[in-house]
Chains A and B, each alone.
Chain A
Amino acid sequence: DVKVTQSSRYLVKRTGEKVFLECVQDMDHENMFWYRQDPGLGLRLIYFSYDVKMKEKGDIPEGYSVSREKKERFSLILESASTNQTSMYLCASSSGANVLTFGAGSRLTVL
């Protein structure tokens, strides 16, 4: 089975801190995605990547950046965390068939 592993299940950070959320997949998938999930708003796409060093903005990229230096790893970076970035962050990967496999999620609280 494809596994998508997110490095931290729960994080608590302070306003202004730099935050790294790491995601690793083990099935050689080309595409990787970062979503955030908030009550009443569903899942919203932040960024995605279809190849190493490639990235595309999703629906809500403001305040975030991403890095994909290796095929298996896709990092989400919050340069200066703010309280409105408190959320559940979900990483996913897919092959060309566009069937997504998600990680378990990282719940970030920004104080």
Chain B
Amino acid sequence: DAKTTQPNSMESNEEEPVHLPCNHSTISGTDYIHWYRQLPSQGPEYVIHGLTSNVNNRMASLAIAEDRKSSTLILHRATLRDAAVYYCILDNAGNMLTFGGGTRLMVKP
């Protein structure tokens, strides 16, 4: 199974943009890139997903490299409520999503 690599932790200042990187060098042509986040004491929640083109929604933007071997989740203006663990996951359209360790984002006021 294709795996993802993310930094263990990142820090950001409130109201600044945050770029969370993810490497997936063994991605296959049919793998979707999913991002989830987990706020303290809650289950993970879906953020965004994409295949080849960049994607935007109300929560975030997803920038996918042209060779698809990496992607970046962009939070345009971080708030204290964005402090969470962010997971980058590959989905090969099977039924199983495998979560790695994720990136713990800390947001400073």
Spell out A's residues near B (CB within 8 Å).
4, 31, 35, 42-43, 45, 48, 50, 56, 58-59, 90, 92, 98-105
Q: Which residues on B are within 8 Å of A, measured CB to CB?
A: 32, 34, 36, 41-46, 49, 91, 93, 95-102
- A50 to B95, alpha carbons, bound, how many Å? 8
Query: Known contacts A98-B91, A100-B36: does B46 contact A43 (CB below 8 Å)?
Result: no
A104 interface neighbour in B42, B95, B100, Cβ under 8 Å: B42
Q: How many A-B residue pairs have CB under 8 A?
A: 46
Chain B proximity of A103: nearest CB distance (Å): 5
Min Cβ gap B3→A in Å is 12
Is the pair A100, B97 in contact by a Cβ cutoff of 8 Å? Answer: yes
Which of B36, B46, B97 has the largest count of A CB atoms less than 10 A from its CB? B97
15 A-B Cβ contacts within 8 A?
Answer: A35-B99, A42-B99, A42-B100, A42-B102, A48-B95, A48-B96, A58-B96, A92-B44, A98-B95, A99-B34, A99-B46, A102-B43, A104-B42, A104-B43, A105-B42
